[in-house]
Amino acid sequence: MANPDDLLKAMSDATRKDKADWRRHEKDVEDRTGDRRVVGSGNGHGKTGQTKVRAGVRVADNMGSTHIRECKATKGRSIGVKCDWLDQLIEQSLSMGRDPVLEIRIEGAELPTPTDWVLIPAIDYEAMLERLSG
């Protein structure tokens, strides 16, 4: 008879192959931005904090950073944006005095479409354009 632990590991490995590699996405964002991940802060659905691990959310945080980030990834070719994600991100960014950034990875994207996207509020985008042109 098979070891139950081995069966659980095999089932877990099979499930991961069907899901986006959100840990890799977070690590890539961390490497690109210099921010660091806040692993485990706010664990659990419905608990306030910077992360909801069940939803695969990690917010990159660096005390010198002007941004707070939430990372989402999908294995498919599309992703929906939930108001709960945005509400949490805005709440955290306002409480910390930082700009909100939603980082999205669409692993199923095909060239020439990039797999990584950055979403910011339109008002922040307009301010950025103004700063660049000024």
Q: What is the DSSP string of 26-70?
A: HHHHHHHH--EE-TTTT-STT--SS--GGGT---EE-TT-SEEEE
Percent of the chain with pLDDT over 70: 68
Residue 109 falls inside a structural domain: yes
Higher-confidence position of 103 and 64 = 103
pTM: 0.69
Q: What is the CATH number of the domain that holds 86?
A: 3.40.1350
The answer to whether 58 and 39 are in contact (CB under 8 A) is: yes
**97 within domain boundaries:** yes
Residue 2 lies in a domain: no
Asked if residue 13 is part of any domain, the answer here is no
Query: 10 Å Cβ neighbour count for 99?
Result: 16
1 falls within a domain: no
Is residue 35 domain-resident? yes
Is residue 29 within 8 A of residue 103, CB to CB? The reply is: yes
Range of the domain at 49: 20-133
How many domains does the chain divide into?
1
Q: Is residue 15 part of a domain?
A: no
Residue 125 CB-half CA count within 13 A: 7
What confidence tens digit (pLDDT) does each residue in 77-127 have?
A: 999 999 999 999 999 899 988 899 999 999 999 999 999 999 999 999 999
